Amino acid sequence: MMNDAFDLRLAETHIEVHKFRSGAIVGSALFALMLQAFVPVYIPKFSVLDLPLLIVIYFGLSRRNPSTGLLLGMVVGLLQDSLSGPVVPLGLYGIAKTIIGYLASSIGARLDTEHPAARFATTMIFFVVHQGFVTLTRRVLLAEPEPWFTLKLLIAAALNAIVAVLVFALLDRLRRS
């Protein structure tokens, strides 16, 4: 006879795992990395945005597989480190984006994050957590003084979340039906 615990699993809602056109993930990640590397040279205020992080969050939430989210975060983070020059030590963003890719994929597997308000909230939280890991890594591993939580961080998180809602709507067009 079947146990009652197994009957509870039948009532769970299924959250769809999205498939994307071939090259969509790689192309959008490379495009975001190029924008992140070259636009702040001409428009310094653009450096507030972290487009590679938005790509990791979006595909983590959409693909809903912690392994691929972790790998995407690692690759994008290490590429961002290598494009950031001598200011950013190699591995700093790699560590932070690996953790965010894993967390986004894990949360995406449990929550439906298709609504713009949910996307705004999750992106804002992930941005703050990402910056927390960057700060923690700088303080603990590199022994650099780094402030924990500032008003600038909150403003940057809100700005990235607003941009994320717009970028995520564009990236939704890359899905296969």
Q: Is 131 left (phi over 0), alpha (psi -120 to 50) or beta?
A: alpha
Domain hosting residue 97, numbered range: 39-174
Length of the chain: 177
In a domain, 141, yes or no: yes
Answer whether 37's CB lies under 8 Å from 53's CB.
no
Answer whether 134's CB lies under 8 Å from 96's CB.
yes
In a domain, 101, yes or no: yes
3-state secondary structure of 175: strand
**pLDDT tens over the chain, length 177 residues:** 445 444 444 444 556 677 888 899 999 999 999 999 999 999 999 999 999 999 999 999 998 899 999 999 999 999 999 998 888 899 999 999 999 999 999 998 788 788 999 999 999 999 999 999 999 999 999 888 888 889 999 999 999 999 999 999 999 999 887
3-state secondary structure of 56: helix
Answer whether 93's CB lies under 8 Å from 16's CB.
no
In a domain, 151, yes or no: yes
In a domain, 107, yes or no: yes
Answer whether 140's CB lies under 8 Å from 92's CB.
no
pLDDT, residue 171, reads: 94
- Say how many domains are in the chain: 1
pLDDT, residue 16, reads: 65
Instruction: Report how far apart, in Å, the C-alpha atoms of 48 and of each of 62, 96, 130, 157 are.
Output: 24, 17, 13, 9
pLDDT, residue 119, reads: 94
As a whole number of angstroms, the longest Cα–Cα distance in the chain is 69
Answer whether 104's CB lies under 8 Å from 119's CB.
no
pLDDT, residue 43, reads: 95
In a domain, 32, yes or no: no
